[in-house]
A and B are shown apart, each in its own frame.
Chain A
Amino acid sequence: MKKTSQFDAIVVGAGPSGNAAAYTMAKAGLKVLQIERGEYPGSKNVQGAILYANALEQIIPDFRDDAPLERHIIEQRMWLLDENSFVGTHIRSEDYNKPPYNRYTILRAQFDKWFSSKVREAGALLICETTVNHLIMDGDQVVGVSCDRLQGDVFADVVILADGVNSTLARKAGFHPEIPAGNVALAVKEVLFMPEETIRQRFNVGEESGVVIEMIGRITDGMMGTGFLYTNKESIAIGVGCMLGDFKNNPNRTSPYKLLEQMKRHPSIAPLIEGGEMKEYTAHLIPEGGFHAIPQIYGNGWMIVGDSGGFVNAVHREGSNLAMTTGRLAAETVIAAKAAGADFRAASLKGYKSALDDSFVMKDLYKYRDTPAVLHKNPQFFTSYPDMVAQAAKTMITVDGVDKKTKEREIFANFRKTRKLTGLVGDAYKLWKAIR
């Protein structure tokens, strides 16, 4: 029943990983069909979003010429928040303000559309508004995909699954089981529009430069998670994400949108977003299981790239760069296999895994392999610590006639009251070990 392949490769999905794969193969002259379920590429995709230049540079070196980039990041703030204050670090340097810039904020719907235009220029065929229902098997080999349209079967030598975090196709095909709620974060986000001048004034930035704020603390209602605020050209992206399992088990039954609304009203955040006009509310899952959660990523006639394979570095909030790199490496594997006249069975695609192992993708994921578990077993990182630190900072800088030495003793006593000394030391060690 094996039909003749109509294409060298089918790529399911037009996000960063799918686009990287389709672009790389099409550039090499392969006949590529890319299938996207949204109205246009990007219409189903959500990210904060920060774009790391490096991964894209390796695919489209001159992307800065015409990619829709919002602002390059010159300042990173990390905030610990308690009920009504924050303590934080701000790292800002003119070094970040010199081209070529390293990080940008982007709006994914616009960026993905642009990336896709490059993919089509490279020669890949893209069809949108088409959902792939399942993979077509010939024995134990994937030979094509079946879409939700009449005469919806289409065949290719290899299918690259870039279908996102829900990984519907691989799951249905039995390549890997459902992602557990403990391995995935649910993030919600709003885009708030405001005049460009307001953003420049509020964040003390220029026309092209921007700020990133990462937040932990009370804002997550005791759940493991973080909040973020990114400056775009004339909008602000503000969001919060926590482990899905924590949402499910939260005794307060706090909904994600309520969590976000509370965060927006935090006295440290509210003035930054005041007057912003909310123009979109989004939600998305982020696979944060890390190294140990990466499934089998290739098999007979198939490969998995991007979020679908769980390629996210949760500690450094990186995902799209891993996605693009996995897409590119999968594509290079296909190109090599095609050149070698291979049969696209698993053995001929294993180069993908070894290329990944040699890349920053697997090296970074390995380095932080234990972080998710450590953080999850120690919720104090997201609950009592930010409170304690904020309290300590306030105590130190409040001028009230108490000498600094006494204050230090107070702070220390407060720390110990909240958590035993051995626990504090242990936490520090665990955290150090987890992200070292």
Chain B
Amino acid sequence: MNAITVNVEEKLFQNRYRVDTGRPHIKIKNADVCTNECVVKSCTFVCPASCYKMEGNGTVTLITDGCLECGSCRIICTEHVNVDWEYPRGGHGILFKFG
């Protein structure tokens, strides 16, 4: 694949969200598992909103503000089952205009 850079934040900027400030609906259960036990860290490239970021020190951080609520992160974390996944509180999260 040729190298192109895609800024997913620019894409997400077009979307309509009602962020439930202070109440992330997805949580990493145990951050140490991501850092030390998970090698692939596939959530950091499979998440279509790039909510999961691999940091320089090998940790994985999660910011759910841009979440598209697809569920991929939960399903692919089969080896570690380390994603605590719920839907956002009613009325919050992504609000598709066209769908």
Chain A positions within 8 Å of B, measured between CB atoms, are: 37-39, 42-47, 49, 107-110, 112, 128-131, 133, 147-149, 165-166, 168, 178-181, 184, 186, 188, 190-191, 221, 235, 244-245, 247-249, 252-258, 261-262, 265, 278-285
Contacts and interface: CB of A to CB of B under 8 A. Distances in A.
B1 A254 contact: yes
Interface of B: 1-2, 4, 6, 8, 11-12, 14-15, 18, 40, 42, 45-50, 68-72, 74-76, 78, 86-91, 93-99
Residue among B14, B50, B90, B98 having the largest count of chain A Cβ atoms under 10 Å: B98
B45 A255 contact: yes
A47 B90 CA distance: 21
28 contacts: A37-B88, A43-B99, A44-B93, A44-B94, A107-B99, A108-B96, A133-B86, A147-B90, A166-B71, A178-B74, A179-B75, A180-B78, A186-B70, A191-B98, A245-B76, A247-B46, A248-B42, A253-B45, A255-B8, A257-B11, A258-B1, A262-B1, A262-B2, A279-B97, A281-B14, A281-B15, A282-B15, A285-B72
B48 A256 contact: yes
B4 A256 contact: no
Given A37-B87, A165-B71, 19 more contacts: A43-B95, A44-B95, A46-B99, A109-B97, A110-B98, A184-B75, A186-B48, A221-B1, A248-B46, A255-B8, A255-B50, A258-B6, A262-B1, A280-B98, A281-B11, A281-B68, A282-B98, A284-B68, A285-B71
A288 to B, nearest CB: 13
Given A109-B97, A248-B76, A282 B4 contact: no
Contacts of B74: 166, 178
B52 to A, nearest CB: 11
Nearest to B75: A181
A129 B91 contact: yes
Contacts, number: 151
B98 A107 contact: yes
The majority secondary structure among interface residues of chain B is loop
Residue among B87, B88, B95 having the largest count of chain A Cβ atoms under 10 Å: B87
Contacts of B4: 258, 261-262, 265
Given A253-B45, A285-B70, A47 B89 contact: no
Contacts of A261: 4, 6
Given A45-B96, A107-B98, A262-B4, A37 B72 contact: no
A191 B14 CA distance: 10
A167 B40 CA distance: 26
Contacts of B42: 247-249, 253
A186 B75 CA distance: 11
A191 B11 CA distance: 11
Nearest to A37: B90
B95 A39 contact: yes
A107 B96 CA distance: 10
A191 B71 CA distance: 21
A38 B95 contact: yes
Contacts of B18: 39
A257 B96 contact: no
A43 B93 CA distance: 10
A230 to B, nearest CB: 12
A148 B98 CA distance: 26
Given A131-B90, A282-B68, A108 B99 contact: yes
B62 to A, nearest CB: 16
B3 to A, nearest CB: 10
Contacts of A221: 1
A255 B75 contact: no
Given A131-B87, A179-B75, A46 B48 contact: no
Contact of B50 (A110, A130, A253, A257): A257
